[in-house]
């Protein structure tokens, strides 16, 4: 299997952006547990996504990339890139004159992404670099990227606030971050449908791959996540100039779009 990742070592100045917002936190030990979980599911992650969403996840990911505002020649980041779906879409957007960095904490996921990159004939995919790293301590300079995407990653970090701060820090002025994830609904009926689907569809299908226990975490991770309004509030308090959360996929999914202010501090 092709080498998994490349490490970037860039100067990271102290973070001066503070907020009174304090979202729910989970034990630090969860970081290692989540890393191990995503490493275990890496070999079948793409196949399961197609089966569980009936292919709809590809539509949602294209929407996320579109909302990022990435365009030809841009330098962009796909955070918590997993096996690379969003990074490949970004690559097509920014073209051969642009640059895409896909960052993830799982070597196994990055290995799958790298293998996919090298098995594809699209020349633009040569502009992708895979980086093993921590979403809470990004190894990039301030105001470095023209756009950032994050697909199904924010829910899995141990500190939502710190992750948003880091995205804000490395994003260029007037640029967008686009964050796709499961939607935590405030409607009890919608929540019950979502939980029924996880218990009766997602977990049984995952069980066919020997990964039932790995996918049971979905329900609790959504319960511990932030609602759309809470995500909008978090983005604003971190420093983004505006933020909007869109419910998609019949309300099962959500996408936060936030725009950085017009200058770096």
Question: 126-183, pLDDT tens digit by residue?
Answer: 999 999 999 999 999 999 999 999 999 999 999 999 999 999 999 999 999 999 999 9
Indicate the angle between helix axes 85-94 and 56-68, nearest 10 degrees. 50
Give the mean pLDDT of the chain: 85
- The rounded distance, in Å, linking the Cα atoms of 209 and 203 is 10
- The rounded distance, in Å, linking the Cα atoms of 37 and 32 is 9
223-240: average pLDDT: 97
Distance between the two ends of the chain, CA-based, in angstroms? Answer: 43
- The rounded distance, in Å, linking the Cα atoms of 128 and 147 is 14
- The rounded distance, in Å, linking the Cα atoms of 171 and 85 is 21
Per-residue confidence (pLDDT) for residue 24, from 0 to 100 = 38
Per-residue confidence (pLDDT) for residue 23, from 0 to 100 = 37
Per-residue confidence (pLDDT) for residue 27, from 0 to 100 = 33
Fill in the DSSP letter of residue 219. H
Per-residue confidence (pLDDT) for residue 21, from 0 to 100 = 37
- pTM for the structure as a whole: 0.84
Give the pLDDT band (50/70/90) at residue 42.
low
* Least confident window among 26-40, 82-96, 162-176: 26-40
């Amino acid at each position: 299997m092709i080498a998994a990742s490349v490490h970037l070592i860039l100067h990271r100045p102290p973070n001066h952006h503070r907020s009174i917002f304090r979202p729910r936190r989970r034990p630090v030990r969860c970081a290692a547990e989540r890393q191990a979980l995503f490493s275990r599911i890496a070999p079948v992650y793409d196949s399961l996504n197609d089966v569980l969403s009936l292919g709809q996840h590809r539509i949602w990911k294209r929407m996320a990339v579109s909302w990022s505002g990435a365009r030809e020649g841009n330098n962009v980041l796909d955070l918590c890139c997993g096996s690379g779906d969003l990074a490949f879409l970004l690559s097509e957007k920014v073209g051969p004159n642009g640059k895409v960095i896909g960052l993830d904490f799982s070597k196994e996921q990055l290995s799958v992404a790298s293998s996919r990159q090298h098995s594809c004939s699209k020349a633009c995919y040569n502009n992708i670099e895979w980086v093993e790293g921590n979403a809470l301590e990004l190894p990039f300079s301030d105001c470095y990227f023209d756009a950032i995407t994050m697909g199904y990653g924010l829910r899995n970090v141990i500190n939502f606030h710190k992750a948003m701060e880091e995205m804000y820090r490395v994003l260029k002025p007037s640029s967008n971050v686009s964050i796709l994830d499961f939607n935590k609904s405030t409607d009890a009926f919608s929540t019950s449908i979502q939980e029924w689907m996880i218990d009766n569809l997602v977990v049984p299908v995952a069980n066919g791959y020997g990964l039932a226990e790995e996918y049971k975490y979905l329900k609790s991770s959504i319960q511990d996540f932030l609602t759309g309004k809470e995500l909008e509030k978090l983005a604003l308090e971190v420093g983004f100039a505006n933020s909007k959360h869109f419910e998609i996929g019949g309300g099962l999914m959500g996408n936060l779009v936030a725009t950085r202010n017009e200058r770096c501090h």
